[in-house]
Amino acid sequence: MIRARRARIVATLGPASRAPGMVKALAEAGVDVFRLNFSHGSHDDHAAALKAVRGAEMALQRPLGVLADLQGPKLRLGRFANVEIDVKPGHKMRFDLDPTPGDETRVQMPHPEIFRALRPGMLLLLDDGRVRLRVGERTDEWADVTIESGSKLSDRKGVAVPEAVVPVSALTPKDREDLAFALRIGVDWVALSFVQKAEDMAELKQIVKGRAACLAKIEKPQALADLNSILDYCDGVMVARGDLGVEMNPEDVPVAQKAIIRAARQRGVPVIVATQMLESMTAAPAPTRAEASDVANAVYEGADALMLSAETASGDYPLEAVGIMNRIMERVEADPLWPSLMDAEHAGMDDIDADALVAAARKAGEAQSTACIVVFTTLGGTARRMSRERPLQPMLALTPKPETARRLALVWGLEPRLGKEPASLEDVTDDAVSGAMTFGLAQPGQRILILAGTPFGAPGAANLLRLAHAPSKAKGARKS
């Protein structure tokens, strides 16, 4: 189960895919991390899905990650007396806190925090941007608005405020319950929705306390403005193009995607590109050519992983969607142009010693005689540093911790596997060579680069780079 590609696949589990047999088939087809979407499904559904992933992991002998995606705050209108009203450009109405069902003149918006954030002239987007409004007079309890575009408005439609930071916690009471449950059943990653500022991620990290890796979903313009600070608190980041596309102009979303990927790669933070990657495959057995190009472009940009949502959660062709995404990734990485793109950008050095060693390993790996790189890691930091350099050789990450192996399943180019804690330099060399040959990453006589840290078993940065050669016959490994 060694992948023939470096980019990873995240697939959402749902009614179409959470059965144990389907989960195993999806992993065989190419899924590296499975997403549990807490906007849908019950806790029992998610617990059963996680159990199915662990069963597939055992059957395939390959670590599989599980990502819990929290719903986040959903800002919505109240209800209309007749469920729906007709609107047109120039139509005026009032939003207020009164729970009485609305009509053409007024409707409830049960979020005082929005009223406090509004200013005259601000833009409001309703129903995923289908209705655009402009704010007129406002107080902390109501706002007069004018419709700029749209034709209908119905109950409980979502409200987006792209031009203001709404003072609301990214963790709702529902999210806190879901988070406690997700940590209890043992997920590997937690994704926080509608992050606006670094403090949102700091709050999540404080609650999680290292029991899972924490990922920020960038889906609001305000998060882009505070991206570097947000990345300080991230173990991973997601380009959530769905909601981001609601609050930004369409032409700005690709630019934002590139900016997020570039910033994440510079920091060595794994980055997922998500939403509508192969959307047409929810109902068709093949993607559009534009979708195939979208997937390919994310791979060319060096994203760690690409995500499937409805395609696998509720679509008619979940296996086919994973299969075609896998094929597109492999085809891009076979392009003679692709290696130069991966080599075009390397991160700066934060920790001088560790980063210098990792950069040296990447340079040494360029020799044609190098078959693979083996990284020994306890918490995953050394492996992520090596991945950040985007070496073209296969990378085997050996760790004694199952949770580390599962978290690293999301990271570009890494093949995480469980291994015992080495006790000596001889163990490091022998285990690296044995692992490389067992998994078919090195042939007899080929060179293996080994990256590790001492003292063994203590989390920390790499401080050891060794060269070894796979034995030609029954001889032991040769060290350099």
What are the tens digits of pLDDT across the range 141-175? 999 999 999 999 999 899 999 998 888 888 999 99
Distance CA(406)–CA(421), nearest Å, equals: 17
Distance CA(179)–CA(203), nearest Å, equals: 12
User: Which entry of 12, 220, 275, 385 is annotated as an active-site residue?
Assistant: 275
Question: Average pLDDT, stretch 257-261?
Answer: 96
Reported as a single tens digit per residue, the pLDDT across 401-459 is 999 999 999 999 999 999 988 888 899 999 999 999 999 999 998 999 999 987 776 77
- CATH entry, 8-73+170-335, from 3.20.20.60, 1.10.287.610, 2.30.130.10, 1.10.10.10: 3.20.20.60
Question: Average pLDDT, stretch 286-302?
Answer: 97
Question: Average pLDDT, stretch 340-356?
Answer: 76
| pLDDT at residue 326, as a whole number | 98
| pLDDT at residue 145, as a whole number | 97
> Range(s) for CATH 3.40.1380.20 in the chain?
346-479
> Range(s) for CATH 2.40.33.10 in the chain?
84-160
Distance CA(28)–CA(220), nearest Å, equals: 35
User: Which entry of 8, 35, 265, 384 is annotated as an active-site residue?
Assistant: 35
Give yes or no: 217 in active site.
yes
Nearest to 214 by CA among 185, 184, 237, 181: 237
Residue 348: band (very low, low, confident or very high) from pLDDT cuts 50, 70, 90: low
Reported as a single tens digit per residue, the pLDDT across 95-145 is 999 999 999 999 999 999 999 999 999 999 999 889 999 999 999 999 999
Residue 473: band (very low, low, confident or very high) from pLDDT cuts 50, 70, 90: low
Integer CA distances (angstroms), 35 to 31, 65, 274, 326, 480, in order: 10, 8, 12, 17, 43
Question: Average pLDDT, stretch 344-351?
Answer: 68
Does the domain made of 84-160 have the CATH classification 2.40.33.10? yes
User: Which entry of 8, 18, 157, 217 is annotated as an active-site residue?
Assistant: 217
Question: Average pLDDT, stretch 462-474?
Answer: 83
| pLDDT at residue 356, as a whole number | 83
Neighbours of 288 (CB within 10 A): 13
Does the domain made of 346-479 have the CATH classification 3.40.1380.20? yes
User: Which entry of 76, 116, 197, 479 is annotated as an active-site residue?
Assistant: 76
Integer CA distances (angstroms), 301 to 230, 262, 304, 321, in order: 21, 8, 9, 21
| pLDDT at residue 369, as a whole number | 82
**Residue-averaged pLDDT of the chain:** 93
Q: What letter would DSSP give residue 3?
A: -
Reported as a single tens digit per residue, the pLDDT across 195-220 is 999 999 999 999 999 999 999 999 99
Query: Which positions ≥6 away from 320 have C-beta within 8 Å?
Result: 281, 285, 286
- Scored b (16 or more CB within 10 A) or e, 330-341 reads bebbeeeebeee
Q: What letter would DSSP give residue 43?
A: H
The identity of residue 51, as a single letter, is K
Percentage with pLDDT > 70 across the chain:
96
> Range(s) for CATH 3.20.20.60 in the chain?
8-73+170-335
